[in-house]
Amino acid sequence: MLRTPPNRRSRHPKTSRFTLAATSQIGLATLQKPENVPWPQMLLGRYALGQVGVYWMLLATLFTGVMTFNGGFATASRFLYAAAREATLPAIFARLNGRLVPYTNVIALALGSAAIAVIVYATDGAPILILVGAVLEGLIYAVAGLCVIQLRRRQKTADRPFRIPLGWTVPILAILVFGALGLLAGVTSDPPVVPLAIVVVLFFASYLYVKTVVPRLKAKEEARRAALGSRRPRRPQPAAAPVPAPAADAAPTPSPAPAPGAGEG
């Protein structure tokens, strides 16, 4: 695992600035219209401690956001780096700087996050974004149940150190429950069906990418490795060690005496 050395010149991560701006917008919306905000922690603080609770929850949201953004950037940038090393993303995402940081991925994630934040702020689409995440979360668990069933069907004789009780009951329940929750999150928005439509578009875009772009990237990477291997000079084989010749003054080794014949007494 690659570890990024600490940046001693800057003790405050750049992502915290974006988090501070986003959190200030949350607090501003809560203070202006506390009854019509999609952030329940603010309402909880207001009903529990009044105006002090709003500021308390705002501070807690700020620190939570900083940790989430830092962890998300660190994880997602390394994930993109690993995918590029496996030739499922363009090679530009596999570049590292002198501190072993995939800087291209960090820049791409920062620009993408900023663009999404601007779009959400301009369209007031924070609830839609939250529901899209809820749909994806429900589908992830539903697909996990499908994967368990498929593995049990395809690898019936595989060694299983742990077995889920009740057979297929738990995977089927996971598919039904989380699939229903994901669908409900996708159709209960205003306007309706928008989160589910966004997830469907993302799914088909990912499917087309895997079927059309990934094979080309794989072929290009294999050709690059083959060319690199043909240009690499072969290592010379080590010469065999010479067998030392016997010394001239060494006494000859006596030959063994012949065995007596059958007629000799």
- pLDDT at site 247: 60
Sign of CA dihedral 212, 218, 221, 225: negative
27-41, 134-148, 163-177: which has the minimum mean pLDDT? 27-41
pLDDT surpasses 80 at 28: no
Locate tokens 């700020």: which residue? Answer: 62
Whether the pLDDT of residue 259 is over 60: the answer is no
What pLDDT, on a 0 to 100 scale, did the predictor assign at position 211?
A: 93
Alpha helices in the chain (DSSP H): 14-32, 40-49, 51-85, 103-123, 126-154, 169-187, 194-208, 214-231
Please identify which residue in the block is written with the tokens 């005496």. Answer: 257
Closest C-alpha among 80, 72, 195 to residue 127: 195
Give the CA angle between residues 84, 82, 227 to the nearest 5°: 50
> What is the torsional sign of CA 63, 68, 69, 74?
positive
- Contact of 155 with 100, CB cutoff 8 Å: no
Q: What band does 175 get if pLDDT is binned at 50, 70 and 90?
A: very high
Q: What mean pLDDT is predicted for residues 245-262?
A: 58
Q: Which two tokens stand for residue 8?
A: 């001693």
| 170 pLDDT more than 90 | no
Query: What pLDDT, on the 0 to 100 scale, is given for residue 169?
Result: 85
Q: What is the pLDDT of residues 186-223, one digit of tens each?
A: 887 777 788 888 899 999 999 999 999 999 999 988 88
pLDDT digits (tens, 9 = 90+) for 98-127: 888 898 998 999 898 889 888 888 888 778
For residue 15, the model assigns a pLDDT of: 44
Give the contacts of 101 (CB within 8 A, at least 6 positions apart). 4, 77
Rounded (5°) CA angle 33-37-41: 115
**pLDDT of amino acid 177:** 93
Ramachandran category for residue 50: left, alpha or beta (phi over 0 → left; psi -120 to 50 → alpha): left
Give the contacts of 57 (CB within 8 A, at least 6 positions apart): 41, 42, 44, 45
**Over 50: is that where the pLDDT of 265 sits?**
no
Q: What are 228-240's pLDDT values in tens digits?
A: 775 556 666 666 6
More confident residue, 163 or 37: 163
- The predicted pLDDT at position 14 comes to 47
Number of other residues whose CB lies within 10 A of the CB of residue 149 = 14
Q: What share of the chain has pLDDT > 90, as a percent? A: 18
